[in-house]
Chain A
Amino acid sequence: MKPVAKSSSASNPLDADMHLRLEGIITPMAAMPGALLPILHAVQDAFGHVPPACVPLIANALNLSRAEVHGVISFYHDFRSTPPGRHVLKLCRAEACQARGARELEAQLVSRLGIGFHETTADGSITLEPVYCLGNCACAPTAMLDGTVHGRLSTERMASLLDSCGVKK
């Protein structure tokens, strides 16, 4: 199951501008059957995360309890309640990539970034996430940086990806 987020501290209330933007996302989608996931995706696409303060608004629009909305957010690995770093790096940890050196890449990332999965570097440059298969298993190992898939990764190529994110050497 999904690990519990470390700091889902009392969230900042929504400012007026954000409130408006949220309504603009939620209102047109609220009537579609099974609207919650599409809405959460749209919110996360717009804000980079799902701010906890928007939960009541979504719950209200869909006639759900806050607990139900929170339960859905916490169930799915994709949704995050806190903003990510400037870059998001997802390393494939699944078997086909393991067979081509994903464990070495994992060690490299943990050592150079000084963080583990689901964490963001102190300078906010990069968030590291695990992913279980990106469908690139014949050209493994694989990682996705800000939505772009990179295959046949070596530690050298991984190092240059990190350089391109401004990660300190």
Chain B
Amino acid sequence: MSVRVYVPRDTSALACGADEVAAAINAEASRRGITIELVRNGSRGLCWLEPLVEVETTEGRIGFGPVSVDTVGELFDAGFPNANSHALSLGLVEDLAWLKKQQRVCFSRNGIIDPISLEDFEAHGGWQGARRALAMRPQDIVSAVTESGLRGRGGAAFPCGIKWQTVHDQLVAQKFIVCNADEGDSGTFSDRMILEGDPYRLIEGMLIAGLACGANQGFVYLRSEYPLARQIFVQALERAREAGWLGTNVADSGRAFDIDLRIGAGAYICGEETSLLESLEGKRGQVRFKPPLPAIKGLFGQPTVINNLITLASVPDILVNGAEWYRDLGYGRSRGTLPIQLTGNIRCGGLVELGFGVSLRELLYDYGGGSASGRPIRAVQVGGPLGAYLPESQFDTLIDYEAFAAIDAMLGHGGIVVFDDTVDMTEQARFAMEFCAIESCGKCTPCRIGSRRGVEVIERLRQGVDAAANRALLESLCDTMQHGSLCALGGLTPLPVKSALAHFSEDFQPRPPA
């Protein structure tokens, strides 16, 4: 019998050589006359171990990682693919503490299944939520989502059920479900991992949203920076259509739902929901004034649910296990689980899905294992480029929307970027302004012009020119941007800047010329 070997086909795994490793394993196996069945799975999210190769045994799956092309021969010498004690052997993957301690809901199948195999998907609980939804009244689906306490995972944490209810209540024939897969925040990749590792989960979530709100057409707006996610999702859409899960008669229910995949064009602002809708309509991605809300007048003027990918991917399990089960996970007003992404200068980076309420410190040290460089962690930026920089004194903050708001920070899409003590916070503050200048949609002056002035003022501060005056100028510029911007790009860019000034003020002191 042939042994089943898994090598992930996931952007991060490939970026660390997974394709070359897969080819080397195939070549080595055939050279030694060993028959293997090579499966390309998604990633488990243990990114620091990528490429993480797994071998199926009667006890479970044994992991090896990080495997490089150079070590494949050695692995076989030590007995691979049979159990062996090579230095890269990790034992049973499911028993790794890093994975075992997690509460995987959205990521329950990632890395385990062959992403585009419909059989694997079904065998691991796929379509159960959709089957329930097909047998429910639309209002009951909406109510279940409302009662679950699910809040949007794209950043604003708006209650998902309220949004769905609004669209459900519009008595209009044409409504849309839009999935926001623009995932522009640095330090985030959970949307990408679902698309690459469990794409039918998103299709199922969108289908449920369509059934709940009375929409028969969905759009996924995917950033162009994710070519592999695009390739895999295109395949998944085709197969789902062939299997009758999309189309004019979904699972013989007489209901119609289909999904169109659209690709962005490198604009961060197109992650903002109204800019995204403009872009889908074929226009410049300029932010719209609200009201009208997208739920009332959205894509092409029709009522539209626009949700982050993780929000939609969370829905199937809510229908299967019940709103109460989901609500019982989590903390305070943050219910359910959050896929957290540990990135930057961190020893064990990757995807950690947990109920809300874990502390930042636990994530950084218990899961992350401290910095990758071995130096002290000095600052972490949570929530993407518009998120605050937190110092060590704030590491006990819990992962909870309200706890973060209370310290003038935000969780955003759950990205955590770690910096060690070599970081120069003036550079980070300057970059925040520079990024805003590059990505501004140009609609309002405080954002478009203010961010450019911000770069200049911080540069003068860095050079020690008129420190007191420039610092005051920067603070007032931040206030203007915060209060005078139409959307959160201009409105929140001051967050990383002000937090850098507040918590790392020593970096902004005039320093002796080098």
Tell me the A residues contacting B by CB distance below 8 Å.
Answer: 1-2, 33-38, 40-41, 62, 68, 71-72, 75-79, 94-100, 103, 131-140, 142, 144, 147-152
Contacts and interface: CB of A to CB of B under 8 A. Distances in A.
Nearest to A76: B265
Given A136-B12, A138-B47, A79 B343 contact: no
9 contacts: A71-B284, A75-B285, A95-B186, A98-B431, A100-B372, A133-B188, A137-B188, A138-B189, A139-B15
A100 B345 contact: yes
Nearest to A64: B282
Contact of A151 (B12, B186, B283, B286): B12
Contacts of A133: 183-188, 225
Contacts of A152: 15-16
A38 to B, nearest CB: 7
B442 interface: yes
B385 A138 contact: no
B15 A95 contact: no
B495 interface: no
A99 B418 contact: yes
A38 B263 contact: yes
A72 B428 contact: no
B265 A37 contact: yes
A95 B385 CA distance: 7
Contacts of A142: 15
Contacts of A150: 15
Nearest to B300: A33
Given A1-B438, A36-B283, A71-B284, A135 B265 contact: no
B192 interface: yes
Contacts of A147: 227
Considering the complex of A and B, which 5 residue pairs feature the smallest CB-CB distances, nearest first?
A151-B15, A138-B349, A36-B282, A94-B186, A99-B344
Contacts of A71: 284
Contacts of B385: 94-95, 132
B225 A95 contact: no
Interface in B181-226: 183-189, 192, 224-226
Given A95-B385, A100-B372, A132-B184, A76 B266 contact: yes
Contacts of A76: 264-267, 285
Contacts of B105: none
Interface in B426-475: 427-428, 431, 435, 437-442, 448
Given A33-B300, A76-B285, A132-B186, A38 B11 contact: no
Contacts of A1: 437-438, 440-442, 448
B183 A135 contact: yes
A75 B343 contact: no
Contact of B284 (A33, A72, A98, A135): A72
B233 interface: no
Nearest to A41: B263
A83 to B, nearest CB: 18
B343 A34 contact: no
Nearest to A93: B431
A33 B282 CA distance: 8
B487 interface: no
Nearest to B286: A75
Given A99-B345, A99-B417, 10 more contacts: A33-B281, A37-B263, A72-B282, A96-B415, A96-B417, A133-B185, A136-B189, A139-B12, A139-B48, A151-B12
Contacts of B353: none
A137 B344 contact: yes
Contacts of B419: 99
A58 B457 CA distance: 43
B262 interface: yes
B381 interface: yes
Contacts of A135: 11-12, 183, 188-189, 192, 225-226, 229
B452 to A, nearest CB: 10
Nearest to B192: A135
Given A34-B281, A137-B343, A149-B14, A96 B186 contact: yes
Given A38-B263, A149-B14, A137 B442 contact: no
Contacts of B372: 100
A34 B300 CA distance: 9
B350 interface: yes
